[in-house]
Amino acid sequence: MNVSTTRLDGEVRSPRPAGTFGCPPAFFILRNTSKKVVLLEGNRIGHGATGHNAGQVTSYFERSFHELVEEFGLKLASEGQRSIEMAWELLDAMYTEAGLNIPFSRFTGYAGFSTFDQIVSVPQEEILEKLETKNKNFIALAETQKGVINSALFTEEVALYLLNKYKDRFSIFENTKVPKVVLKADHAILDAGNHSVSTDRVVLCTNGFENIKIFNISGLEMEYD
């Protein structure tokens, strides 16, 4: 980015995302479309939350399904849970197609429940044994697929794979913070410090939305996922 303004039609840009949230969208956009994709990373690939977690791979929300239903309704809560469980298939596709050989351990995990609102109860002795706890607050459990992987290394390897496979359609700019996004009717403008970037679509894949100012002057509705 050695010019003050860049315009690339059909391109999808993702500010500050190059971790487990940003690389998967880039992977599948490149894989399933002919669009160009640029990742704008505020720091370095895999060095944010991705590089500081314990590498656990889970398929559930931090909040109970009962709470999600109360806030969002059964339909949206069910769709969200179904989508997060289907992410295992997407992870397998990325791991396999990128030809990765980094360790990826998978096993059966258990989620505990503490109120009868959440689930029908089963013998508590079995529940506590599988949860490996003596906490008798748990009255039921559910089996769920879990895993462990070095998420930072996974992200870096996937990014390298994309750079090699899609040389003409994919690029990454690290240490490129995007404090401001302006959404217009037919394109978007990203403020990237000393540079501005113009593109057809913007995908914000980051846990730092509070640091990004979004000016939606298009009047169009934004999508949240």
Residue 173 lies in a domain: yes
Total count of domains within the chain: 2
pLDDT tens for the chain, 225 residues long, are 333 333 344 444 444 345 667 788 899 999 999 999 988 887 777 666 665 666 777 777 777 777 888 888 888 988 888 888 888 889 899 999 999 998 988 887 766 666 665 555 567 787 788 778 888 887 776 677 888 888 888 888 999 999 999 999 998 888 888 888 888 888 888 888 788 888 888 887 766 566 788 888 877 666 655
Residues in CB range of 152: below 8 A, 6 or more apart: 19, 46, 47, 50, 51
Q: State whether residue 27 is helix, strand or coil.
A: helix
pTM for this prediction = 0.70
User: In this structure, are 34 and 76 located in the same domain?
Assistant: no
Domain CATH code at residue 44: 3.50.50.60
Residues in CB range of 44: below 8 A, 6 or more apart: 18, 174, 175
User: In this structure, are 80 and 134 located in the same domain?
Assistant: yes
User: In this structure, are 128 and 76 located in the same domain?
Assistant: yes
Structural domain ending residue among the three candidates 149, 172, 192: 149
136 is in which domain, residue-wise? 56-149
- Under 8 Å between Cβ of 210 and 21: no
Q: What is the dihedral of CA 49, 51, 56, 57, to 10 degrees?
A: 80
User: In this structure, are 101 and 181 located in the same domain?
Assistant: no
Residues in CB range of 130: below 8 A, 6 or more apart: 110, 141
User: In this structure, are 188 and 210 located in the same domain?
Assistant: yes
